[in-house]
Amino acid sequence: MSAPARRLTIGVVDYGAGNLASVARAVTGLGHRCRVSRDTDTLAATDALVLPGVGAFPAAMAALHRHRLVEFLQRQARAGQPLVGICLGMQLLAETSSEHRVTAGLGLIPGHVHPLEEAGWHIGWNRLEVRQDDLLLAPSDGEVLYFNHAYVVSTPPEYVVGVARLQKPFTAAVRRGRVIGLQFHPEKSQLGGQELLRRVFDGLSGDATC
């Protein structure tokens, strides 16, 4: 794996509902500094934020509200601080979710979270198909990555930068400026996932063409 363009400080948002250890290992494995925190001053001082997530949408949003992170994340994203949502973290970027009950999300990506049309849970490896005009993710077109989810994001086509397929295609990656959502787990996807994260961090932080 190539060295990072420059050593970044990545803030991993700790709100009690994320896969923090594996995300932190992935960040430091890329040669970057990692700050796992819920302190807004600490997070604001980083080059990019990662919003991980494991569990249910309503509980995760309640935790973000409890730790006073909702308005912080909205403000930082709108001010241009890069934000990468992973798995449930990607779903939290949306406007609403119907998981258990209708719950408002962060509203950073237009759209709604709903169950997969196929019954059951999507667990395992699947191929990513990337929209070729997205220079950060396009090199990962065709990469096989690890998924573990039962809900997906529906969003207007202009925000969809990657899909994967079961019986039908579903949204696997979204982007709105410097906000990116990844439905898969790049931190659990071996070398392909690490390379994707490296390009995302370098690109969103200004070291590659966005």
Which residues are marked as active site? 87, 185, 187
Residue partners of 36: CB distance under 8 A and separation at least 6:
12, 14, 20, 24
Hey, what's the torsion of the CAs at 172, 74, 97, 16, to 10 degrees?
90
- Count the alpha carbons within 13 Å of 1 in the hemisphere toward its beta carbon: 17
User: Among candidates 109, 112, 126, which has minimal Cα distance to 177?
Assistant: 109
What's the CA gap between 25 and 32, in Å, rounded? 10
Q: Which residue has the tokens 């969103």?
A: 204
Instruction: Give the pairing of strands 160-165 and 129-130.
Output: antiparallel
Residue with tokens 């490896």: 125
CA–CA dist 124, 117 (Å, integer): 17
First to last CA, the chain: 21
